[in-house]
Homo-oligomer: A and B are copies of this chain.
Amino acid sequence: MEKIRIGIVGYGNLGKSAELGIRQNKDMELTGIFSRRNPQDLQLQDEAIPVYHLDQAAQMTDQIDVMVLCGGSLSDLPVQGPALAGLFNTVDGFDTHAKIPEYFDAVNLKAIQANKTCIIASGWDPGMFSLNRIYAEAILPVGETYTFWGEGVSQGHSDAIRRIDGVLDAKQYTIPVPEAIEAVQNGSLPKLTTREKHRRVCYVVADQGADRQRIEQTIKTMPNYFADYDTDVHFVSEDDLNRDHAGLPHGGLVIRYGQTGSNNDHSHTIEYRLKLDSNPDFTANVLLAYARAAYRMNRDGQFGAKTVADVAPAYLSAKSAVEIRQQLI
Protein backbone atom coordinates (compact mmCIF):
# COMPACT_ATOMS: atom_id res chain seq x y z
CA MET A 1 0.00 0.00 0.00
CA GLU A 2 1.21 3.45 -0.93
CA LYS A 3 1.46 5.42 2.33
CA ILE A 4 0.79 9.09 2.89
CA ARG A 5 4.00 10.64 4.25
CA ILE A 6 3.15 12.94 7.15
CA GLY A 7 5.26 15.60 8.82
CA ILE A 8 4.29 17.07 12.18
CA VAL A 9 5.14 20.71 12.95
CA GLY A 10 5.24 21.44 16.68
CA TYR A 11 5.61 18.94 19.48
CA GLY A 12 3.31 20.07 22.27
CA ASN A 13 0.22 18.17 23.38
CA LEU A 14 -1.31 18.19 19.89
CA GLY A 15 1.90 17.14 18.14
CA LYS A 16 2.39 14.27 20.57
CA SER A 17 -1.18 13.11 19.97
CA ALA A 18 -0.67 13.32 16.20
CA GLU A 19 2.41 11.09 16.52
CA LEU A 20 0.24 8.44 18.25
CA GLY A 21 -2.72 8.95 15.91
CA ILE A 22 -0.67 8.14 12.82
CA ARG A 23 -0.17 4.61 14.21
CA GLN A 24 -3.97 4.09 13.96
CA ASN A 25 -4.03 4.88 10.24
CA LYS A 26 -2.55 2.10 8.14
CA ASP A 27 -2.26 4.30 5.05
CA MET A 28 -0.02 6.88 6.79
CA GLU A 29 3.60 7.03 7.90
CA LEU A 30 5.38 9.65 9.98
CA THR A 31 8.38 11.10 8.15
CA GLY A 32 9.50 13.40 10.94
CA ILE A 33 8.78 15.94 13.62
CA PHE A 34 9.64 19.58 12.93
CA SER A 35 10.21 22.02 15.77
CA ARG A 36 11.58 25.48 16.39
CA ARG A 37 13.38 24.01 19.39
CA ASN A 38 16.77 22.33 19.20
CA PRO A 39 15.99 18.81 17.81
CA GLN A 40 18.23 17.26 20.50
CA ASP A 41 15.94 18.67 23.21
CA LEU A 42 12.80 16.78 22.09
CA GLN A 43 11.89 13.53 23.85
CA LEU A 44 9.80 11.56 21.37
CA GLN A 45 7.40 8.76 22.24
CA ASP A 46 9.03 6.73 19.47
CA GLU A 47 12.77 7.44 19.37
CA ALA A 48 13.08 6.01 15.86
CA ILE A 49 11.24 9.04 14.44
CA PRO A 50 13.63 11.71 13.08
CA VAL A 51 13.41 15.22 14.51
CA TYR A 52 14.29 18.25 12.40
CA HIS A 53 14.55 21.95 12.98
CA LEU A 54 11.67 23.73 11.27
CA ASP A 55 14.19 25.58 9.09
CA GLN A 56 15.09 22.26 7.42
CA ALA A 57 11.53 21.72 6.15
CA ALA A 58 12.01 23.78 3.00
CA GLN A 59 14.64 21.27 1.80
CA MET A 60 12.30 18.30 2.34
CA THR A 61 9.35 19.11 0.10
CA ASP A 62 9.83 15.88 -1.88
CA GLN A 63 9.78 13.70 1.25
CA ILE A 64 6.49 14.82 2.79
CA ASP A 65 2.96 14.65 1.36
CA VAL A 66 1.14 16.59 4.10
CA MET A 67 2.38 18.74 6.98
CA VAL A 68 0.16 18.60 10.07
CA LEU A 69 0.54 21.94 11.82
CA CYS A 70 0.25 21.50 15.59
CA GLY A 71 1.28 24.97 16.75
CA GLY A 72 -0.90 27.50 18.56
CA SER A 73 -3.39 29.82 16.89
CA LEU A 74 -2.17 32.93 18.69
CA SER A 75 1.40 33.25 17.39
CA ASP A 76 2.51 30.03 15.61
CA LEU A 77 -0.07 29.40 12.90
CA PRO A 78 -0.47 32.99 11.61
CA VAL A 79 3.23 32.78 10.60
CA GLN A 80 3.70 29.06 9.88
CA GLY A 81 0.38 28.48 8.07
CA PRO A 82 0.98 30.77 5.09
CA ALA A 83 4.74 30.04 5.01
CA LEU A 84 4.31 26.26 4.86
CA ALA A 85 1.34 26.52 2.44
CA GLY A 86 3.87 27.74 -0.09
CA LEU A 87 5.81 24.46 0.27
CA PHE A 88 3.47 21.65 1.36
CA ASN A 89 -0.11 20.45 1.53
CA THR A 90 -1.07 21.30 5.10
CA VAL A 91 -3.79 20.76 7.65
CA ASP A 92 -4.23 22.77 10.84
CA GLY A 93 -6.62 23.42 13.71
CA PHE A 94 -6.55 27.24 13.60
CA ASP A 95 -9.26 28.03 16.14
CA THR A 96 -9.52 31.79 16.55
CA HIS A 97 -13.02 31.92 15.05
CA ALA A 98 -13.05 35.67 14.39
CA LYS A 99 -9.79 35.55 12.41
CA ILE A 100 -10.61 32.53 10.23
CA PRO A 101 -11.54 34.60 7.13
CA GLU A 102 -8.29 36.57 7.31
CA TYR A 103 -6.19 33.46 7.97
CA PHE A 104 -7.97 31.63 5.13
CA ASP A 105 -7.05 34.39 2.68
CA ALA A 106 -3.38 34.41 3.75
CA VAL A 107 -3.05 30.62 3.40
CA ASN A 108 -5.07 30.57 0.17
CA LEU A 109 -2.78 33.06 -1.56
CA LYS A 110 0.33 30.94 -0.94
CA ALA A 111 -1.37 27.59 -1.57
CA ILE A 112 -2.75 28.69 -4.95
CA GLN A 113 0.68 29.97 -6.04
CA ALA A 114 2.30 26.64 -5.09
CA ASN A 115 -0.49 24.29 -6.29
CA LYS A 116 -0.94 23.01 -2.73
CA THR A 117 -4.07 22.01 -0.80
CA CYS A 118 -4.28 23.44 2.71
CA ILE A 119 -7.17 22.62 5.03
CA ILE A 120 -7.47 25.15 7.83
CA ALA A 121 -9.58 25.34 11.01
CA SER A 122 -10.05 21.60 11.29
CA GLY A 123 -10.47 19.80 14.63
CA TRP A 124 -13.78 19.73 16.49
CA ASP A 125 -14.69 23.39 17.03
CA PRO A 126 -13.96 24.71 14.52
CA GLY A 127 -14.18 21.48 12.58
CA MET A 128 -16.75 18.80 13.31
CA PHE A 129 -19.01 21.28 15.10
CA SER A 130 -18.80 23.63 12.10
CA LEU A 131 -19.87 20.80 9.81
CA ASN A 132 -22.82 20.02 11.99
CA ARG A 133 -23.88 23.67 12.07
CA ILE A 134 -23.73 23.75 8.25
CA TYR A 135 -25.61 20.49 7.67
CA ALA A 136 -28.27 21.17 10.30
CA GLU A 137 -29.03 24.69 9.08
CA ALA A 138 -29.26 23.51 5.47
CA ILE A 139 -31.72 20.76 6.40
CA LEU A 140 -33.84 22.82 8.79
CA PRO A 141 -33.81 26.35 7.37
CA VAL A 142 -36.48 27.46 9.87
CA GLY A 143 -34.86 27.02 13.26
CA GLU A 144 -32.04 27.94 15.57
CA THR A 145 -28.61 26.38 16.22
CA TYR A 146 -26.98 26.26 19.67
CA THR A 147 -23.43 25.19 20.56
CA PHE A 148 -22.47 24.09 24.07
CA TRP A 149 -18.92 23.24 25.19
CA GLY A 150 -17.84 20.88 27.94
CA GLU A 151 -17.76 19.40 30.38
CA GLY A 152 -14.06 19.82 29.81
CA VAL A 153 -10.78 21.58 30.43
CA SER A 154 -10.20 24.91 28.74
CA GLN A 155 -6.47 25.35 28.34
CA GLY A 156 -6.81 29.05 27.60
CA HIS A 157 -8.73 29.68 30.80
CA SER A 158 -6.35 27.49 32.85
CA ASP A 159 -3.43 29.52 31.47
CA ALA A 160 -5.17 32.78 32.35
CA ILE A 161 -5.45 31.69 35.99
CA ARG A 162 -1.82 30.58 36.08
CA ARG A 163 -0.72 34.09 35.14
CA ILE A 164 -2.22 35.52 38.38
CA ASP A 165 0.34 36.46 41.00
CA GLY A 166 0.53 33.78 43.72
CA VAL A 167 -0.90 30.96 41.57
CA LEU A 168 1.39 27.96 41.05
CA ASP A 169 -0.91 25.85 38.89
CA ALA A 170 -4.58 25.66 37.85
CA LYS A 171 -7.15 23.74 35.83
CA GLN A 172 -10.39 25.25 34.59
CA TYR A 173 -13.47 23.26 33.59
CA THR A 174 -16.14 24.65 31.29
CA ILE A 175 -19.53 23.15 32.16
CA PRO A 176 -22.70 23.55 30.09
CA VAL A 177 -25.83 24.42 32.09
CA PRO A 178 -28.24 21.43 31.85
CA GLU A 179 -31.34 23.65 32.07
CA ALA A 180 -30.16 25.56 28.99
CA ILE A 181 -29.71 22.35 26.98
CA GLU A 182 -33.16 21.14 28.08
CA ALA A 183 -34.75 24.42 27.04
CA VAL A 184 -33.25 24.03 23.57
CA GLN A 185 -34.32 20.37 23.30
CA ASN A 186 -37.85 21.27 24.37
CA GLY A 187 -38.16 23.73 21.54
CA SER A 188 -38.59 26.89 23.57
CA LEU A 189 -36.03 28.62 21.31
CA PRO A 190 -34.46 30.38 24.30
CA LYS A 191 -32.33 33.51 23.99
CA LEU A 192 -29.46 32.49 26.25
CA THR A 193 -26.93 34.83 27.80
CA THR A 194 -23.31 33.77 28.24
CA ARG A 195 -24.00 33.12 31.93
CA GLU A 196 -27.07 31.00 31.19
CA LYS A 197 -25.21 28.68 28.80
CA HIS A 198 -22.04 27.74 30.69
CA ARG A 199 -20.47 27.94 34.11
CA ARG A 200 -16.80 27.68 35.05
CA VAL A 201 -15.13 25.67 37.82
CA CYS A 202 -11.49 26.32 38.72
CA TYR A 203 -9.04 24.20 40.73
CA VAL A 204 -6.18 26.39 41.89
CA VAL A 205 -2.85 25.64 43.59
CA ALA A 206 -1.83 28.80 45.46
CA ASP A 207 1.60 29.76 46.74
CA GLN A 208 1.85 29.23 50.48
CA GLY A 209 1.68 32.84 51.62
CA ALA A 210 -0.64 34.01 48.83
CA ASP A 211 -3.87 35.89 49.56
CA ARG A 212 -6.52 33.39 48.41
CA GLN A 213 -9.33 35.90 48.63
CA ARG A 214 -7.49 38.22 46.24
CA ILE A 215 -6.80 35.34 43.83
CA GLU A 216 -10.44 34.24 43.87
CA GLN A 217 -11.58 37.82 43.30
CA THR A 218 -9.09 38.31 40.47
CA ILE A 219 -10.34 35.17 38.72
CA LYS A 220 -14.05 35.93 39.12
CA THR A 221 -13.75 39.48 37.80
CA MET A 222 -11.35 38.76 34.93
CA PRO A 223 -12.86 40.34 31.79
CA ASN A 224 -13.64 38.07 28.79
CA TYR A 225 -12.49 34.94 30.64
CA PHE A 226 -14.66 34.82 33.79
CA ALA A 227 -16.55 38.06 34.51
CA ASP A 228 -19.59 37.05 32.44
CA TYR A 229 -19.91 33.60 34.03
CA ASP A 230 -20.86 32.02 37.34
CA THR A 231 -17.47 30.78 38.48
CA ASP A 232 -16.52 28.45 41.33
CA VAL A 233 -12.97 28.55 42.67
CA HIS A 234 -11.54 25.65 44.70
CA PHE A 235 -8.08 25.78 46.24
CA VAL A 236 -6.35 22.40 46.19
CA SER A 237 -2.88 21.04 46.85
CA GLU A 238 -0.45 20.37 44.01
CA ASP A 239 -0.78 16.63 44.71
CA ASP A 240 -4.57 16.79 44.46
CA LEU A 241 -4.38 18.70 41.18
CA ASN A 242 -1.96 16.19 39.68
CA ARG A 243 -4.00 13.24 40.90
CA ASP A 244 -7.54 14.40 40.12
CA HIS A 245 -7.11 16.87 37.27
CA ALA A 246 -4.21 15.59 35.17
CA GLY A 247 -6.22 14.85 32.02
CA LEU A 248 -7.47 17.06 29.22
CA PRO A 249 -11.03 15.80 28.75
CA HIS A 250 -13.48 17.88 26.71
CA GLY A 251 -16.56 17.63 24.58
CA GLY A 252 -19.71 19.46 23.75
CA LEU A 253 -22.89 19.55 21.80
CA VAL A 254 -24.35 21.22 18.71
CA ILE A 255 -28.16 21.24 18.66
CA ARG A 256 -30.44 22.58 16.01
CA TYR A 257 -34.11 22.87 16.73
CA GLY A 258 -36.20 23.38 13.61
CA GLN A 259 -39.76 23.36 12.39
CA THR A 260 -41.51 22.12 9.25
CA GLY A 261 -45.05 21.69 7.99
CA SER A 262 -47.66 24.04 6.60
CA ASN A 263 -47.90 25.93 9.90
CA ASN A 264 -44.50 24.97 11.36
CA ASP A 265 -46.43 22.37 13.34
CA HIS A 266 -43.70 19.69 13.23
CA SER A 267 -40.62 20.03 15.43
CA HIS A 268 -37.26 18.37 14.89
CA THR A 269 -33.98 18.29 16.75
CA ILE A 270 -30.57 17.37 15.38
CA GLU A 271 -27.93 16.78 18.07
CA TYR A 272 -24.22 16.15 17.62
CA ARG A 273 -22.44 15.33 20.87
CA LEU A 274 -18.80 14.61 21.67
CA LYS A 275 -17.42 13.12 24.89
CA LEU A 276 -13.64 13.09 24.76
CA ASP A 277 -11.17 11.67 27.28
CA SER A 278 -8.39 13.58 25.56
CA ASN A 279 -8.98 16.78 23.66
CA PRO A 280 -5.54 16.71 21.94
CA ASP A 281 -5.87 13.03 20.90
CA PHE A 282 -9.27 13.63 19.33
CA THR A 283 -8.24 16.90 17.68
CA ALA A 284 -5.12 15.24 16.27
CA ASN A 285 -7.20 12.41 14.84
CA VAL A 286 -9.50 14.88 13.10
CA LEU A 287 -6.45 16.64 11.65
CA LEU A 288 -5.11 13.31 10.35
CA ALA A 289 -8.39 12.43 8.63
CA TYR A 290 -8.22 15.85 6.94
CA ALA A 291 -4.55 15.23 6.09
CA ARG A 292 -5.74 12.23 4.06
CA ALA A 293 -8.29 14.51 2.40
CA ALA A 294 -5.69 17.21 1.63
CA TYR A 295 -3.43 14.62 -0.02
CA ARG A 296 -6.23 13.26 -2.20
CA MET A 297 -7.76 16.63 -3.08
CA ASN A 298 -4.31 17.79 -4.15
CA ARG A 299 -3.98 14.76 -6.43
CA ASP A 300 -7.40 15.69 -7.85
CA GLY A 301 -6.20 19.23 -8.60
CA GLN A 302 -8.26 20.99 -5.92
CA PHE A 303 -5.70 23.61 -4.90
CA GLY A 304 -5.89 26.46 -2.40
CA ALA A 305 -7.07 26.92 1.18
CA LYS A 306 -10.08 24.82 2.21
CA THR A 307 -12.18 24.45 5.31
CA VAL A 308 -14.13 21.38 6.41
CA ALA A 309 -17.06 22.86 4.44
CA ASP A 310 -15.17 22.29 1.19
CA VAL A 311 -14.18 18.67 1.76
CA ALA A 312 -16.44 15.86 0.49
CA PRO A 313 -16.72 13.28 3.31
CA ALA A 314 -15.42 10.40 1.15
CA TYR A 315 -12.00 12.12 1.03
CA LEU A 316 -11.61 11.46 4.78
CA SER A 317 -12.23 7.75 4.69
CA ALA A 318 -9.55 5.09 4.29
CA LYS A 319 -12.17 3.08 2.42
CA SER A 320 -12.70 3.18 -1.34
CA ALA A 321 -15.80 4.72 -2.93
CA VAL A 322 -17.18 1.23 -3.57
CA GLU A 323 -16.54 0.12 0.02
CA ILE A 324 -18.20 3.27 1.34
CA ARG A 325 -21.33 2.60 -0.73
CA GLN A 326 -21.41 -1.06 0.36
CA GLN A 327 -20.60 -0.64 4.05
CA LEU A 328 -21.31 2.90 5.25
CA ILE A 329 -24.12 4.43 3.18
Interface residues of A (CB under 8 A from B): 17, 20-21, 24-25, 45, 97, 100-101, 104, 121, 126, 128, 130-135, 137-142, 260-262, 265-278, 281-282, 285-286, 289, 292, 307-314, 316-318, 321-322, 324-326, 328-329
Contacts and interface: CB of A to CB of B under 8 A. Distances in A.
A126 B329 contact: yes
Interface centre among A104, A272, A281, A318 (most CB of B within 10 A): A281
A248 to B, nearest CB: 9
Contacts of A326: 100-101
B325 A314 contact: no
Given A100-B325, A138-B317, A274 B268 contact: yes
8 contacts: A132-B272, A133-B328, A134-B314, A134-B316, A139-B316, A271-B274, A272-B273, A307-B325
B273 A271 contact: yes
A31 B188 CA distance: 35
A311 B312 contact: yes
B312 A324 contact: no
B317 A134 contact: yes
Contact of A309 (B17, B273, B328): B328
A131 B135 contact: yes
A295 to B, nearest CB: 13
Contacts of A21: 260
B281 A261 contact: yes
Nearest to A275: B269
A322 to B, nearest CB: 7
A260 B17 contact: yes
Contacts of A268: 274-278, 281-282
Given A97-B329, A314-B310, A260 B285 contact: yes
Nearest to A140: B285
A321 B100 CA distance: 12
A137 B312 contact: no
Contacts of A126: 329
